[in-house]
Structure 1
């Protein structure tokens, strides 16, 4: 998929609200958020964003690449000062019929098998980034929603 073509409607600066929680039974915590979507090195796209965990400012970066043809999947790496610490998380994914880019990754759990993580990039004009945690044997549940406006 051509990631540059996909993000072109999203290019620029955004303001919004970040909603986050740890567990599906937890209430969401809201904070102000910003995001900047850019093309970098001609063939890549990045989304740099800020939010707050209620105590301190946080930031993240999603760097995405697309295959040479629309049939090839997108790949991405993600870092977030709160969620990933000092680690890079790797993803691959495709755009669904609804136009949403769905990226799949995983991370090591303290005990047992790896857990999954999904990032959904919803296209403009209702730009949103949602993130879902996947506990082995359970249904994915949303932990982050970054709702953006120009």
Structure 2
């Protein structure tokens, strides 16, 4: 499904609002403008934190999926695709923290029935509790592409 979706939407551009939750309870949200662009094998996005633009991308090739984000994950990381997950794609990886076992990070791109796209990122504690981290909701801006 992913490859056919990437082909169908190649060249499209999207704009919307990004939500970032940093507090442990997940109640305080930081909102910014965001964009998304779909190119061959790449879904890239921008968002902002404290007035500074951040960039990220998911790159899909024969070796799998690589994710990078200038604020969350500046060094590219290989992600495992979750087969059977709902949405356009769902990937995850684990990351080390100095004072505990590895944590998890899951990213999912979905398309709502109204055509908008939703990119969600979830932080997963070593004991399995999931906390919302990021949600970006996009509307297509170049309908002729």
Which residue of structure 1 aligns with residue 28 of structure 2? 27
The answer on whether the counterparts of 2:82 and 2:92 sit within 8 Å (CA) in structure 1 is no
Shifted more, 107-116 versus 88-97: the winner is: 88-97
* Aligned-pair Cα RMSD in Å: 2.1
**Partners of 1:127 and 1:36 in 2: CA distance:** 11
Q: What is the CA–CA distance in structure 2 between the aligned matches of 1:103 and 1:66, rounded to whole Å? A: 15
Structure 1 residue 9: Cα displacement: 4.2
Unaligned runs of 5+ in 2: 141-145
Corresponding residue of 1:82: 71
State the SS of the aligned residue for 2:126. Answer: coil
> Contact 1:24/1:142 (CA < 8 Å) preserved in 2?
no
2:4 alignment partner in structure 1: 5
Quick one: structure 1 residues 127 and 10, their matched pair in 2 at CA, closer, same or farther if it must change by over 3 Å? farther
Task: Identify, as 1 or 2, the structure richer in strand.
Answer: 2
TM-score by length of 2: 0.82
Quote the Cα distance in structure 1 between the aligned partners of 2:109 and 2:8.
Answer: 12
- Distance of aligned partners of 1:142 and 1:25 in 2 relative to their CA distance in 1, 3 Å threshold: closer
Task: Report the secondary structure of 1:136's partner residue.
Answer: coil
State the alpha-carbon separation in 2 of the partners of residues 122 and 9 from structure 1: 15
